[in-house]
Amino acid sequence: MSEMRVSVIPVARMDVEEVEEAANRVARVLGSPILLREAAPVPRGTENFERRQHDASGFLADLRGKMAPLRVTKVIGGDDSAANVPMSSMNATVFVTDLDLYTEKSDGVFAYLSPKFKVGVVSVRRLKEAFHRRKADPSKQRTRLMKEMLRVIARVSGMPKCANPACPISPSKVLPDVDSKEERYCQPCWTRMSTGVSRI
């Protein structure tokens, strides 16, 4: 099987350790190394001060414009030679932020993606138990982050949504959707991804 080429980029003050731990688990599922890059700056002009949230579409567009020069700080699940793959040949680039994102159609989103440009962003804000006024549970939060990363990577690299609610590529509308997913792709999706059908 051909390797996936995936970059993961924390945004600003996002906890890098948290991103790295999730990326490690994602790399194991994909069987491909993940390039962790230096943090991207917070987009300007995308914050809605009344909502105290960022417009997801503008946020991702801004990040996309700034990602090219971001250096690889670590190759997760592989050796350093993987770091030489140019940004332009990535199958997927995933930003991770702790800022809250919204779209016109929603109060807030777990992630936002742009398959056209093979980029997406995951926000951990609504993946936190504390956001939902429950006791903090870092382990649960990291598992959710990992699953959302799996979803974004698959979707932006060309996979369609999956109808199996246990598959990470199925929609994540509410938190129980995320929690009921498994930490790996369903068999048909994985077969399709790993045989490169989606990577034309």
Binding site residues, Zn ion, CB under 5 A: 162, 164, 167, 169, 186, 189
Q: Which is nearer to Zn ion, 73 or 164 (CB)?
A: 164
- Nearest residue (CB) to Zn ion, 136 versus 166: 166
Pick the closer one to Zn ion by CB: 113 or 162: 162
98, two tokens: 């702790």
CB 96 within 8 A of CB 10: yes
Residue-wise over 144-174: b if at least 16 C-beta within 10 A, else e? bbbbbbbbbbbbbbbbeebeeeebbbbebee
Query: What does R_g of the chain's alpha carbons equal in angstroms?
Result: 16
Q: Which is nearer to Zn ion, 63 or 189 (CB)?
A: 189
Residue type, 56: A
Q: How far is the CB of 189 from Zn ion (least distance, A)?
A: 3
* Shortest spacing between CB 17 and Zn ion, in angstroms: 29
* Nearest-approach distance from CB 56 to Zn ion, in angstroms: 24
The kind and range of the H/E element at 83 are none
| In the complex, least distance from residue 154 CB atom to Zn ion, rounded to whole angstroms | 8
Residue 87 near residue 67, CB atoms below 8 Å: yes
Q: Which of 100, 168, 94 is nearest to 130 (CA)?
A: 100
In angstroms, give the least distance from the CB of 191 to Zn ion: 10
CA distances to 20, 27, 49, 130 from 101, in Å? 21, 25, 12, 16
Instruction: Using the minimum distance from each CB to Zn ion, give the nearer residue, 166 or 174.
Output: 166
3-state helix, strand, coil in the chain (%, to 5): 40, 20, 40
